[in-house]
Amino acid sequence: MVGSVEITYSPIANSNGSSHTHSNGSFQNNGTSVTAEERLDELRRRLGKSDGDLLKIVGIGAGAWGSVFAALLQDAYGQFRDKFQVRIWRRPGRSVDRSTAEHLFEVINSREDVLRRLIRRCGYLKYVEARLGDRTLYADEILRDGFCLNMIDTPLCPLKVVTNLQEAVWDADIVINALPSTETREVFEEISRYWKERIGYPVIISLAKGIEASLEPVPRIITPTQMISSATGVPIENILYLGGPNIASEIYNKEYANARICGSDKWRNPLAKFLRQPHFIVWDNSDLVTHEVMGGLKNVYAIGAGMVAALTNESATSKSVYFAHCTSEMIFITHLLTEQPEKLAGPLLADTYVTLLKGRNAWYGQMLAKGELSPDMGDSIKGKGMIQGVSAIGAFYELLSQPSLNVLHPEENKPVAPAELCPILKRLYKILIKRELSPKDILQALRDETVTDPRERIEMAQSHAFFRPSLLGQP
């Protein structure tokens, strides 16, 4: 099993500086070694589980990060079968096309461990037949063998897959939301029907990075955790957000990574301890909504970065110019959203950086600029899943265009909507939402001599009382 590989790391402090990791997966808390089973038992106690009563975790959604997250838990705790169960739900009936089936077969035969596993499970023949065109594979059945449709080249551990949503969630103790933000509300409204007779609330961890905009009665951002609470009635103290500068396949292949779990005091520290592994350090933070919004914001600018990279033949100079402009816009927007934006600078820039390097949103921007994709094809792309940055562009621009949020223009000395001071966001909106411009027009946002110096935009945000608490639904 992948989780049995031993990797040695330097000691890493947890959020309060008291925890260290070891090569065997144990941790030290105040000098005491803590094993995986002890971490599991501690969370079981927190959830009121009795002996013989399984701790049941279900992942909702089987994209790359959702599948990897479930697989990490299976790797870490799946051996404790009398105490722990993790399952993943995905919709049934999604067929795997012939070219993907052929590629799957190549991956299987290039990995001796995977080949032996499938032969032992009597699963190898179906991949032979699919390659020959004699049968159709389905996304839920390949997931049972450890293959995520959006990440074929990274075999996971076998997962328990459920295609009936009611069966998946009705008695779950912890629910992992791995759905795109655009699907979260609809699915959790259905889930709420299955929880009507439930005594007590589950704990929900949302991995979704995206937002919606609500313009009435006042402009505000709606995040996935807020969608879930509204749809199900689960109190916000039981809903947390986990995010970080992570590429799913690299995390599963044991590249060192970190993330933050944000939410209430009651759950964030116990869950951080439970989720933490030698190669995946999880810190905790109380600032739920703002971290969640920042996870959506970086996807906006990643699409533009991909466009610039493709249009300039990966010019380091052009990409750095874009980075200067886009980070100044993100800092500007951050000052509108929080009273203490400096606390978000590190996490936001780290998440942005990894997305520009290898994220699906930057890839999408590149494909648009090269003409291999077009906005008319939609934002759900085969082999990649949902491109969250597209809907986020629409939401952020619509919100920041509202006159009630007007700020004073630094040169013209007149009130303007914040979006007017974010030329990259404005141009991305015209390219992807309004479809008035082509992807190559993103370069004009960098070359226009009238564009504000990025430094001035940051200074403007820092020197004015910009914070608009109403944007996050606060009084």
Tokens linked to 17: 């500086």
Q: Half-sphere exposure of 56 toward its Cβ, with a 13 Å CA cutoff? A: 13
298 as an active site residue: the answer is: yes
Residue 63's CB: how many other CB atoms inside 10 A? 23
Parallel/antiparallel/unpaired status of strands 174-177 and 203-206: parallel
3 state SS of 440: helix
Query: Can the peptide bond before residue 347 be classed as cis, meaning omega within 30 degrees of 0?
Result: no
The partner residues of 212 in beta bridges, in order of sequence, read: 222
Residue 202's CB: how many other CB atoms inside 10 A? 21
Pick the catalytic residue: 56, 298, 384, 426?
298
Q: How is residue 97 annotated by DSSP? A: P
Counting Cβ atoms within 10 Å, is residue 164 exposed (0-12), middle (13-18) or buried (19+)?
exposed
In terms of Cα–Cα distance, which of 389, 385, 386 is closest to 365?
389
The vertex-401 CA angle with 318 and 179, nearest 5°, equals: 75
In terms of Cα–Cα distance, which of 459, 388, 470 is closest to 180?
388
The vertex-163 CA angle with 158 and 169, nearest 5°, equals: 95
Sheet-wide strand order for 84-89 = 160-162, 84-89, 55-60, 174-177, 203-206, 239-243, 257-262, 280-285
State the Cα–Cα distance between residues 179 and 298, nearest whole angstrom. 18
State the Cα–Cα distance between residues 318 and 50, nearest whole angstrom. 59
Alpha-carbon distance values, 299 to 226, 316, 329, 437 (Å):
19, 20, 13, 20
State the Cα–Cα distance between residues 251 and 232, nearest whole angstrom. 31
- Cβ-based neighbours of 219, under 8 Å, separated by 6 or more: 213, 399, 402, 404, 405, 470, 471
The vertex-293 CA angle with 47 and 177, nearest 5°, equals: 40
395-407 CB burial, b ≥16 within 10 A, e <16? bbbbbbbbeebeb
Tokens linked to 426: 């404005």
Task: Just list the catalytic residues.
Answer: 298
